A and B are shown apart, each in its own frame.
Chain A
Amino acid sequence: MNILWDNIFRKAKKENDIRTVLKENALFHDLSDRELSFVQDIVHVRRYHSGEAVFRQGEVGVGMYIIVKGRVEIYVTDPTAAEDAFRDIYITQLLEGDFFGELSLVEENGRRTASAVARDETTLIGFFKPDLMEILERSPSAGVKIIFRLAEVLGRRLKETTDKVSDLRKTLKEMREPPPMTPYE
């Protein structure tokens, strides 16, 4: 599992309708019922066939997706791989309620760092930068709640990445410096 893509906010779902999925999502968790209805009118519901790409690595990303129904697999493409079979590296599988691509909400013309491909017939909620701008313009209180939660999510992702990098450095150091030899008795 890759910590950048692994969902750290996964929760069990009772109903898979749009409103419930939005309400249970980390970004919209603090919104009142009125604000949630407002957001529900703004987001986009998109349907994908099994095997269809949601986005591809390197494309300019405009926003994030939340899985309502189905599964999404995340791949990273390694262009230096010698054979096609090894070019796409499987990273993780995301399930109902999970979300991905949220970094694009705050990046300026940021590119997707991985590809997302639908498995099964998949329904996603798309929440994009223009939608966030519209919320901030028309209902700043709801917009601030979402931005605060988004900052929290990105902060947690960053913390986990930093921890992982530290662990990797530690392992690397241990590999470079062999343990001191015990004196021969």
Chain B
Amino acid sequence: MSDTKLASRLRRERWLKLSAFLAIHSLALVLLFTIDNLLVSFVLAFVINYLLAPLVSYVERKRIPRHIAILIPFVTSGLIIGLAIYLVLPLVTAQITSLEAQLPIYQRDLLALIGRIEMRIKGLFNLHEFNVAQNVNTWLIAKTGELSTLLPSIISQSLTVALLAPFLAYFMLQDGRSVSRSLLAMVPNNLFELALNLHHQINEQMGGFIRARFLEAAIVGLVVWAGLAIIGFPYAPLLSIFAALMNLIPYVGPILGAVPAVLIALISEDGAIYSSMSLNLFVLTSVFFIAQLIDVLFIIPFVVARIVNLHPVTVILVIIIGAQLMGILGMVISIPVASVLKLTLTAVYNHLLEFRS
């Protein structure tokens, strides 16, 4: 075959393979974004997959077949979660019931607080007539009404996700590697080594990122729980779970995690553990500050060092875009997604510079 004929045949085949590869990925993306609950379940399944993968490999190293090696951490973590729910649920239910009973009081006190601040501002600056307290009250009533209407669908969606995510995660652990291999087989020869290396790097980075982030959140949650329990602040378990979950959001998360506790301290008598409001706030914020200090000084350098470095401004922008597109979930997944994009673009750029130099 002449060189020109071969070149044209290779070009045609490469485009065909690349198009098929991209078409499959695009179709998967369309399905993820159009089918209800699939995206959330898929993201959660990815998280479970990355959290359990090292355990599965550990069990597999004991010469246990992979399908059983997957079942062992699944069943074990299922039992641990079940036991935790069994032990914590009565506590959390009692706290929610108590919170529910206290909510009208909190609402009244919050409005009174806003009213007081409003009066002060008016006194200071002699501004136009505006009624923030009234507006907040209307907004709170509207939102509470919306929540009660949406609650059945939220519960049904959560149940679907709770069932679908572990199911998908099991198959990701069982067949994920062979699916990746089949997809990589579609990559043209000239891009194969690059694609394989890129896939490996992304996998490593994502795994490291997710495991480190969850470990970090768990440690921060435990520190907050211990701190709140020591100072005798109400709703310590609920507030620490919230702080741990919020800690998954970089930069903004730690502040958001402290907001409910600070609000309770400001407006509720339960939150007044000391007679002076400023001392009360100082002790409470110290708990969150110490948790963040431990996070920054010990957890991040030793646990989260593998996270892809993104500039703080990029992080804030990415979180805002994530929040705009997908709400809270968008905020949580925006950073890993941005890290993957950065990694992919850097690798492709390096490929253009180095692979072909």
A83: Cβ under 8 A from any B Cβ: no
Kindly list chain A residues whose C-beta atoms are within 8 Å of the C-beta of B189.
46, 48, 52, 54
The answer to the question of B9 belonging to the interface, with a C-beta cut-off of 8 Å to chain A, is: yes
- Whether A59 pairs with B356 at a CB distance below 8 angstroms is yes
CA gap between A63 and B196 in the complex, in Å: 10
List of B residues within 8 angstroms of A140 by Cβ: 61
Query: Does B146 lie at the interface of the complex (its beta carbon under 8 Å from any beta carbon of A)?
Result: no
Q: Does B269 contact A (CB under 8 A)?
A: no
How distant is the Cα of A109 from the Cα of B357 in the complex, in angstroms? 13
- The answer to whether the Cβ of B57 comes within 8 Å of any Cβ in the partner chain is yes
Interface size class of A (residues with CB under 8 A): 20 to 34
In the assembled complex, the CB of B299 is this many whole angstroms from the nearest CB of chain A, namely 25
Measured CA separation A60–B9 after assembly (Å): 25
B61 x A49 contact (CB < 8 A): no
Closest chain-A Cβ to B355's Cβ sits at a distance in Å of: 5
- B residues 52-92 with Cβ under 8 Å of A? 57, 60-61
Contact residues of A between 26 and 64, Cβ < 8 Å to B: 41, 44-46, 48-55, 58-63
A58 contacts which of B9, B177, B196, B357 (Cβ < 8 Å)?
B357
* Interface assignment of A155: CB less than 8 Å from any CB of chain B: no
With A50-B1, A59-B356, A133-B200 known to touch, is A44 a contact of B190 (CB < 8 Å)? Answer: no
Of chain A, the residue at the smallest CB distance from B201 is A130
Tell me whether B178 is interfacial, beta carbon within 8 Å. Answer: yes
- Chain B: minimal CB distance from A137 (Å): 5
* Contacting residues, chain B, for A44 (C-beta < 8 A): 181, 184-185, 192, 196
Residues of B within 8 A of A5 (CB): none
Q: Which of B57, B200, B351, B356 contacts A130 (CB 8 A)?
A: B200
- The minimal Cβ–Cβ distance linking B4 to chain A, given in whole angstroms, is 11
Interface residues of B in 175-207 (CB under 8 A from A): 177-178, 181, 184-185, 189-190, 192-193, 196-197, 199-200
> Is A75 an interface residue when CB atoms closer than 8 A count as contact?
no
Q: Chain B contact residues (Cβ within 8 angstroms of A): what range?
A: 20 to 34
Residue pair A51, B61 in contact (C-beta under 8 Å): no
A-B pairs with beta carbons under 8 A, tally: 61
- B57 touches which one: A45, A59, A126, A138 (CB < 8 A)? A138
Whether B3 is near chain A, meaning CB under 8 Å from some CB there, is: yes
Q: Is B354 an interface residue (CB 8 A)?
A: yes
Indicate if the CB atoms of A62 and B197 lie closer than 8 Å: yes
Find chain B residues with CB under 8 A from A166 CB: none
Task: Name A58's closest neighbour in chain B (CB-CB).
Answer: B357
Cα distance, A63 to B193, chains bound together (Å)? 8
Chain B CB within 8 A of A99 CB: no
Whether B3 lies near A61 (C-beta < 8 A) is: no
CA distance A49 to B2 in the complex (A): 12
Q: Which residues of A contact B151 (CB under 8 A)?
A: none
**Distance in Å from the Cβ of B201 to the closest Cβ of chain A?**
9
The reply to whether B355 and A60 contact each other, CB–CB distance below 8 Å, is yes
State whether A138 touches B60 (Cβ < 8 A).
Answer: yes
Q: How far is the CA of A133 from the CA of B199 in the complex (A)?
A: 13
Interface 1/0 per residue, A122-150 and B, CB below 8 Å: 00001011100110011110000000000
Known contacts: A41-B178, A59-B355, A130-B197. The answer to whether A53 contacts B190 by CB under 8 A is: yes
Assembly CA distance A50 to B354 (angstroms): 26
Shortest beta-carbon contacts, A-B, top 6: A130-B200, A62-B193, A51-B6, A59-B355, A62-B197, A137-B57
Beyond A52-B6, A130-B196, 15 additional pairs, beta carbon < 8 A:
A44-B196, A46-B189, A49-B10, A51-B6, A52-B10, A52-B189, A55-B193, A58-B357, A59-B354, A60-B351, A62-B197, A129-B197, A134-B177, A137-B57, A140-B61
